[in-house]
Amino acid sequence: MTRPNPDPRSILDLDRMVHEPARLAILTVLAAAEEVAFLFLQKVTGLSKGNLSSHTQKLEAAGFLETVKAFQGRIPSTTFRITEEGRAALQAYHRQLRALLPKEGKP
Amino acid sequence: MTTPDLDALAALTRDYAAFQTRKSGLATALGGLLAVVLAVGSLSPLFMGARLGHRLLLEYLVWTPLLWLLLKGLLARALYRGAGSVKALPDGAYERRRWFWIFGLAMFLLAVGLSGLYAFARGLLQAGAAHDACVPAPPLWLLAMPPVYLLAMPWAIRGIEEARAYAVLVGQSVLWLLPFFLFYFGAPTPPLKTGWGLLGDLFGVGILVLWYLIMVWGALAMVRGWKEHRDFRKLLGTLP
């Protein structure tokens, strides 16, 4: 079965909120767990604190993640969880990208 | 940053999160070691009757499950949360398997405990020194141990799920203690000592099979725990 050729212009329809590499990495990590601490997200993505904060704020504003702030004893902790909307956006992005990419073995 | 390998990132997150739910690494190895020590020790009256200071070695061994719980919490915090906490996605199949074993074990221990109580009530067992008096009767304060296991560890419990897991472990510890006392210190009453017949033989074989199972489980737990720990060290090495 052959896949229908997508409209070449559909690459412009990719969700840019998800398409940015740092945000894509953040959403991928969050989708693989229920709740992730800021520290782990920073270590696993290799982003600086400021950069990570900036991207998570954008994703939160888009409704793709939730921030949970709490205290563990006296130490403040920040954790993130992906929302249903964020998970759906990530899955839709994967589908779109897969449709746009050439089949294996073809340039 | 460069475009990441998304599958690798997701796998890394899942593997790391597993160490905060179902994998315990060195704590598993330690649990296996303690199980082997208890299993070997329980067959040796000399070992169980040995004294450390002014107390029986047994009086220290009774604390083993609580000690293990404490060490498990400490090791998890010290070794497996260094890169921050990650809560794993719920795994329905794993949860079902886990509860099946927990429930099965609890039922088994309950059956052993109840049969012990029945044997006491019928006079087949009586409180006193076991193993032909090689081991003296235990001090009575040991019988008050179960409530100690009910002491919560607030620093180790986060949320209802961990509290539930702790409650189950405490319950199992209590269930473990009851038959332990009943059978280790319940000597058959002299007239019935040789009158158990087939029941006695079956009981002996059952205990022996259980003993081998504990030994095998302990050995496997040690290997598995050490392997998990090595895998975690490798996983940490892959973090940027």
Q: Average pLDDT in the A42-69 region?
A: 94
Does residue A107 fall inside a structural domain? no
Q: For residue A12, is it within any domain? A: yes
Domain interval for residue A36: 8-100
Residue B127 pLDDT > 60, yes or no? Answer: no
Task: Output the domain CATH number for residue A92.
Answer: 1.10.10.10
Q: Which amino acid is at B12?
A: L
Q: State whether A29 and B239 contact (CB < 8 Å).
A: no
With beta carbons less than 8 A apart as the criterion, state whether A44 and B17 touch. no
Q: Which distant-in-sequence residues (6+ apart) come within 8 Å of B75 by Cβ?
A: B24, B25, B26, B27, B30
The model's pLDDT over B128-175, given as tens digits with 9 standing for 90+, comes to 544 454 455 555 455 445 455 445 444 444 445 555 565 666 665 555
Q: Does residue A37 form part of some domain?
A: yes
The two structure tokens encoding residue B209: 């099979």
Binary contact (B1, A77; C-beta < 8 A): no
Q: How far is A70 from chain B (nearest CA, A)?
A: 12
Q: What is the pLDDT of residues B163-194, one digit of tens each?
A: 556 566 666 555 555 555 555 555 555 544 44
- Tell whether A3 is covered by a domain: no
Which residues of chain A have a CB within 8 Å of the CB of B14?
A: 32-33
Q: Which of B4, B87, B240 sits opposite A34 (nearest CB)?
A: B87
Cα–Cα distances (Å) from B46 to B57, B131, B134, B208, in that order, read 10, 10, 7, 19
The alpha carbon torsion through A44, B26, B91, B108 (nearest 10 deg) reads: -170
- Is B83's CB within 8 Å of A39's CB? yes
Q: Is A2 inside a domain boundary?
A: no
Q: Which residue has the higher pLDDT, B195 or B63?
A: B63
- Total domains in the fold of chain A: 1
Q: Is residue B113 exposed (0-12), middle (13-18) or buried (19+ Cβ within 10 Å)?
A: buried
Does residue A66 lie in a domain region? yes
Inside any domain, residue A106: no
Report yes or no on A105 lying in a domain: no
